Structure 1
Amino acid sequence: MKKVCVITSIHSPFDGRIYHKQCKSLKRAGYDVVLIAPEPEVMESNDIPLITFKRPTSIKQRIMVIYRMYNLAKKTNADIYHFHDPELMIVGFMIETFLKKPVIYDIHEHYPNTIMGRDYIPSAIKIPMKMAYICVEKLALLKISGVIYTTDEIGKRYGRYNGCKIENYPLKEMFPARKREKDPNQLIYLGGITKIRGVLELVEGFSLALKEKPNARLLFLGSFESEAFEQEVHNQIAQKGIGENVSFISRVPYEQISSYVDQSAIGILPYLPYPNHLVALPNKLFEYMAANNAIIASDFPHYARVITDSNGGMVINPEDPKDIAAKITQLLSIPEETRELGKNARKAFENKYNWSCEEKKLLGFYRSLLQR
């Protein structure tokens, strides 16, 4: 039995992509899997051995944890290593160099674009930080055996390397086919509540839609990026006088997400056109599809391709609250057509946009690396 060591320095050990999809798929395929990850806030039942450590809370701590990650990984004596965070590139390089074991770098985002889009990074150091990342990545990839990435747009950076495109599609078992009465007036926003994801524009647009559809409700399921932004959003809601129509639920265990999405008729993804959003494809889009939600999403080309392919929704200009309001009002005004869009989205999820399709690619990539 081949042993796999999966490593993350910042994600929860029960992360949907890392734990519930990749680790469990590898275990079902007969691999002995161990996961190195930060201590969780709440321990969940698990069937994957965990090695945990105190979560780093600053960029400095994220860098300092590198040497410890290498030692923890070395002790597992695995046959193949799979890491998920950019600061672990050095760990991957060390494993390939000193342990002579194959290593996979799992790239979740277009990190140079991500750096440029982070408001908390001072503008003066964004470009130097971006260039430093690119240089370190090029050096690390001279040694690292394989790269996993999402979307063709992100994959363009890795054409010269041994790569595999694996999307973060939802699990079929998490969204079983079932007939549940939806709330025709409820929209859901799923994921981190941040400024660059268009939350302020969404609240403004929703307040405009309420003038024609006063029974509409908007549910946010996720955590705020900061206390300051949380206060800003609540101030906006209070100023608009729409507090009774907007509700918030903080982070819930991964397995419970579907129960909230299932209740809603419309899923909304109003991300602003920041560099990383223009190339990455958020899993929330496909979770809406899996839950029979009609979709309202930003008019980025790669979002539009999915929506057009599935005939499961419509696109918006995320920077225009009036356009957001118009699309919300349109879908709430035609519940029969909204249900039909949701059915179309669900059908596309069942046939194409689900994890079982991606699992085969993951296992095939592992086999190719271990055979080499």
Structure 2
Amino acid sequence: MKNVVFVRSSSKPARVEKEAESLKNAGYSVRILYWDRNSNQSRVESKNGINIKYFGLKAPYGKLSLIPYLLIWWIYELFFLLRSESETIHSCCFDTLIPAILTKTIQKKKIVYDIFDFYAESLPENIPPSIRNIVSSFEKFCIRFVDFVIIVDNSRYIQIKEAKIQKMDVIMNCPNDIIVNPKSSPNTEFIIFYGGMISKTRGLMELINSIRDLDNIKFIIAGMGEDENLFKEISSKTKNVTYLGWINYEKYIDFTLSADLIFGFYDPKIPNNRLASPNKLFEAMMCSTPIIVNEETSMAEIVKQDNCGLIVPYSNHNLLKKSILKLKDNPELCLKMGENGRKAFEREYNWQVMSRKLIESYNNI
């Protein structure tokens, strides 16, 4: 039996645990190491037969003040990996890769490098371009020591094409099919739902400004992030906007299933946003719910190809408003786009398809 350890510099489990579960079911012995940045208490738990270790060290996200905490995390990760009996290290994002490479050098282990986001383009906006370029070059240099690279979307290849890549595959972040009940009866209002990071870079203000004066349209927002206080305040003052805060995944799917439209905007000024292929697109497909996205993103190509939603420019408030009214006034179009998305999900954008690719990749390492 082959042994694999997943390493992730946060405790956000969705993709990690799907991949770990797929490998476990294929006969691999799997462990997970998370960095829990919300607590100073380390702990161990077992979930679905997988041993999970949480390294507790409170630390920020997306700030330069993270650097000293990152160094402590790297030291902890390195000693954890050196003590581990795992033959393969599944390194999730660049802030776990350097200890993995050191471990490989010492103990001749294999590395699978799973690039959730290209690190240089995920750095805070105030980082100078020169520093960003250095980080980018260093990540590409480190990839030469990796046995297998995973990217989450074909469009992401442009970010690493200059690296020396031994083997690579695309494994999208698609959900397991958990829909057992059909959509319920129509809503009395036209419900638009957004679930995810709460940030002004996600087009939330653009949508609020577009629907502020519209009747029988309600915008529901769920999640946590840097701008959550702003949207709490807006929610309290705007009659057709509701901010729920953090909700669990089951409730998130319930809202995705019951909504009339899913909102998926990403500010194209941020390079990683232009290449976004987020869960919410595939979850909307799974739930037979149309989605509206901005045309500057790679996911707009999927929406266009499968005709499962509408595409508008990021900053065109007038066209966004018209597009929402178009769907609100045409339930048949909403239904058809939802059906198109569901067909595409069943054909190729589900985790069962991606799980087979993951196992095949591991078997070929």
Assess same fold via TM > 0.5: yes
Query: What is the rounded CA distance, in whole Å, between the counterparts of 1:257 and 1:277 in structure 2?
Result: 22
Q: Deviations over 1:89-123 (max 9, x none)?
A: 211211210110101111012333333xx34xx2x
In the alignment, structure 2 segments of 5+ residues that lack a partner are 61-65
Hey, which of these two has a bigger chunk of helix by percent? 1
* Residue identity matched to 2:336: E
1:107 and 2:115 matched: yes
Aligned residues: 349
Q: Structure 1 residues 249 and 351 mapped into 2: Cα distance closer, same or farther (>3 Å)? A: same
Query: What is the rounded CA distance, in whole Å, between the counterparts of 1:17 and 1:176 in structure 2?
Result: 21
1:267 and 2:262 matched: yes
1:346 and 2:348 matched: no
Which of these residues, 75, 95, 98, is aligned with residue 106 of structure 2? 98
Aligned to 1:198: 203
* Residue identity matched to 1:233: F
Shift of 1:165: 1.0
State the superposition RMSD in angstroms: 2.2
1:136-155 superposed matches below 5 A: 136-155=138-157
Structure 1 counterpart SS, 2:47 = coil
* Residue identity matched to 1:31: Y
Q: Deviations over 1:215-270 (max 9, x none)?
A: 111111211x22xx3343345556xx53x321122223334421121111111112
Structure 2 counterpart SS, 1:180 = coil
Contact 1:16 / 1:254 at 8 angstroms: preserved in 2? no
Shift of 1:126: 2.6
Structure 2 counterpart SS, 1:142 = helix
Query: What is the rounded CA distance, in whole Å, between the counterparts of 2:16 and 2:148 in structure 1?
Result: 17
Query: What is the rounded CA distance, in whole Å, between the counterparts of 2:355 and 2:254 in structure 1?
Result: 24
Q: Structure 1 residues 63 and 181 mapped into 2: Cα distance closer, same or farther (>3 Å)? A: farther
Query: What is the rounded CA distance, in whole Å, between the counterparts of 1:249 and 1:131 in structure 2?
Result: 38
Structure 1 counterpart SS, 2:128 = helix
In the alignment, structure 1 segments of 5+ residues that lack a partner are none
Aligned to 2:4: 4
Aligned to 1:222: 223
1:56-95 superposed matches below 5 A: 56-58=58-60, 59-60=66-67, 61-95=69-103
Aligned to 1:310: 306
Aligned to 1:320: 316
Shift of 1:40: 8.4
1:366 and 2:362 matched: yes
Aligned to 1:28: 25
Query: What is the rounded CA distance, in whole Å, between the counterparts of 2:329 and 2:45 in structure 1?
Result: 41
TM-score by length of 2: 0.89
Aligned to 2:231: 233
Structure 2 counterpart SS, 1:318 = coil
* Residue identity matched to 2:91: F
Aligned to 2:272: 276
Structure 1 counterpart SS, 2:10 = coil
Which of these residues, 158, 169, 181, is aligned with residue 164 of structure 1? 169
